[in-house]
Amino acid sequence: MNYWLFKTEPDVFSIDTLASSPGKTAPWEGVRGYGARNYLRDEIKKKDLILFYHSSCKPPHVAGLAEVVKEGYPDHFAFDKKHKYYDPKSDPQKPTWFMVDVKFKEKFSRAISLEELRSHGQLDGMVLLQPGGRLSIQPVSEKHFQYICKLAGAKSFPG
């Protein structure tokens, strides 16, 4: 099992949106960066766990947990001319963009802000806290994942 941090803007897709989705499951679509795309296409696997991170808000924070329930597959919105994620260069025969399906696990009883994350030396080396750590999907070490879940008082994390 691997551990990830998925960034999203809460006014676009929040942890509450995921929790209220049918079956508490939704596709993680619209990723248009190659580094994050590569993770979606090549490395993220079913049952991997996700720190659900709200960015572009005050304060940015880890909001909860989700789980990958379907591995990478072509982001079909890239082929839909009427969709906001349409990409005219993407070819259905050789797709450029990929997505995974994620399922809600837990909303933390308290958000863990970026500022708070930075204050914990135990999280040194975490991609999110590195200069240039801007990818919308980032790997997280098991040690860092467990530490953040402990900080948040996570109920659903088995570690």
Counted domains in the chain: 1
Sheet containing strand 98-113, edge to edge, reads 25-28, 98-113, 61-74, 49-54, 3-8, 137-140
Domain span at 87:
3-152
Q: What is the pTM of this model?
A: 0.94
How far is residue 145's CA from residue 17's CA, in Å, rounded to a whole number? 22
Q: Inform me whether the pLDDT recorded for 137 exceeds 60.
A: yes
| Confidence (pLDDT) at 37 | 97
Residue 65 placed within a domain: yes
Q: What would the mean pLDDT of 78-107 be, rounded to a whole number?
A: 95
The CATH number for 134's domain is 3.10.590.10
Q: How confident is the model at residue 159 (pLDDT cuts 50, 70, 90)?
A: low
pLDDT tens string 35-53: 999 999 999 999 999 999 9
